[in-house]
Amino acid sequence: MKLSGLLLLSPVCCLAQKAVRPNILIAIADDQSYPHASAYGSTWINTPAFDRVATEGLLFSNCYACSPGSSPSRASMLTGLFPWQIEEAGTHASSFPSGYVCYTEVLQEAGYQVGYTGKGWGPGDWKVLGRTQNPAGPEYNECRLVPPVKGVSEIDYSTNFRVFLDSLPTDQPFCFWYGANEPHRPYTRDVWKKMGRTEASAKVPAYLPDVQEVRGDLLDYAYEIEWFDIHLGQIIQELEKRDMLQNTIIIVTADNGLPFPGAKANCYDAGIHVPLAICWQGHILRHGIEQVAVSLIDIFPTIMELTGTPYSTIPLSGHSLAPLLGIGEGEYEPHEIYSGRERHSSARPNNWGYPIRSMRQGRYLLIRNFHPERMPAGNALPLGEKNPVNGYCDIDGSPTKKFIIEHRSDSAFAPYFRHAAALRPEYELYDVEQDPDCMNNLAEVPSHRRVLRKMKKRLSRSLRDMHDSRTGENPEIWESYPRLKGPMRVFQEE
């Protein structure tokens, strides 16, 4: 799947295919799960800009990220390849080999002006292996603002977008990545109180305890989603003001699930099931809610097809979503949806990761934990550390994490700790239609043995076909990829 260099495309060829090529705006939240937008019916989160995109286009109810961590998820979205197909870029906070082509580079070669504001690809070091720009494009982060609260980024996303548009030559199409740093932690605690919200308004998922600390934490998370949405609304207004909205394809999503125990860094639905809405005024013929399962790996081929950019010689693992949008000919063939992770944080001895692969097929989600002897959320304590809340480092620090760890011996709350941090079996199976919070593992239930056997066989064959090293001759190569961003912790082997 690796290319020796960027496939050169002729702008003349692309212009010939489309007299007026559409612009591309991708808005990507940092750590937002489905269904946390008001378009999905969430009454405790207000997202009018996302809702507008959903209403004017198509809203997807079953979109999956390729990884439950931002760096590999974004890399897959940019390359159209799964994390296990892109070497170092497929793990967290490492590097991004220059031989893998990103859709941003293809569009640049095709005559598009490309840029990003906020968080592009990351965390990681994109320079170390020879890239000359962030895989998301040239950076536009100079404009700053005074954040309304701590934890919200000082980057003025919408103003940076205006600066980008001001630099755009007349009639040149653009591809812009609005990568908010929200709702990534840390949050300002209890900011929801200033919004006039009540604790009762928050909806607590089954994998979290329904207590005051968690409800408040969820409402603080909601505040940051709304901050992301405010800037999305301002960006859309800017397009309207410049009479550019009708010719702009808008794709709004998130890189992975919410930063709570049992969600982010896990291949449960809460970690990989993300929002997605796509609009293109006057062009998208299908509206409403699309139930077919899709993947963020589909973004690359979708952009290529909608912009009329040749891409048949580029090795991609995704499928264009154009048929679901009612654009062009052909049908979208439903298929299995794959996700996975390797290292997330520095959370175990020797910087080991926790390798997972998952497959969504119909109503079922199969998860394979390749090292079930390792702690899924990380080891309990780094050396020299005495506070247990500072362990389990694959879980972001938060009031919710603190509550779960401090009450792990309480019989009423121990199940929540076990779900997030206890050892797991090699295989897990969930009926995500009946059990979206992934609380009831069906892998050992006799009535589901046939489903389990069939899905295990399919997952193994697919991973081999995709040349996943976890199923090949060098399964531990992932442990050799360096961690280049974030703290390095020392753990004693347990």
Q: Which two tokens stand for residue 74?
A: 């974004």
Amino acid at 170: T
Domain residue ranges in the chain: 11-335, 339-480
Pairing of strands 174-179, 248-254: unpaired
Instruction: Answer whether 24's CB lies under 8 Å from 175's CB.
Output: yes
Confirm whether pTM is higher than 0.75: yes
CB atoms within 10 A of CB 483: 18
Instruction: Answer whether 255's CB lies under 8 Å from 31's CB.
Output: yes
CATH of domain 11-335: 3.40.720.10
Q: Three-state SS string across the chain, please?
A: CCCCCCCCCCHHHHHHHCCCCCEEEEEEECCCCCCCCHHHCCCCCCCHHHHHHHHHCEEEEEEECCCCCHHHHHHHHHHCCCHHHCHHHHCCCCECCCCCCCHHHHHHHCCCEEEEEECCCCCCECCCCCCCCCCCCCECCCCECCCCCCCCCCECHHHHHHHHHHCCCCCCCEEEEEECCCCCCCCCCCHHHHHCCCHHHCCCCCCCCCCHHHHHHHHHHHHHHHHHHHHHHHHHHHHHHCCCHHHEEEEEEECCCCCCCCCCCCCCHHHHEEEEEEECCCCCCCCEEECCCEEHHHHHHHHHHHHCCCCCCCCCCCCCCHHHHCCCCCCCCCCCEEEEECCCCCCCHHHCCCCEEEEEECCEEEEEECCCCCCCCCCCCCCCCCCHHHCCCCCCCCHHHHHHHHCCCCCCCHHHHHHHHCCCCCEEEEECCCCCCCCCCCCCCHHHHHHHHHHHHHHHHHHHHCCCHHHCCCHHHHHHCCCCCCCCCCCCCC
pLDDT values of the chain reduced to their tens digit, one per residue, 494 residues: 333 333 333 333 333 344 589 999 999 999 999 999 999 999 999 999 999 999 999 999 999 999 999 999 999 999 999 999 999 999 999 999 999 999 999 999 999 999 999 999 999 999 999 999 999 999 999 999 999 999 999 999 999 999 999 999 999 999 999 999 999 999 999 999 988 899 999 999 999 999 999 999 999 999 999 999 999 999 999 999 999 999 999 999 999 999 999 999 999 999 999 999 999 999 999 999 999 999 999 999 999 999 999 998 899 999 999 999 999 888 898 999 999 999 999 999 999 999 999 999 999 999 999 999 999 999 999 999 999 999 999 999 999 999 999 999 999 999 999 999 999 999 999 999 999 999 999 999 999 999 999 999 999 999 999 999 999 999 999 999 999 999 999 998 86
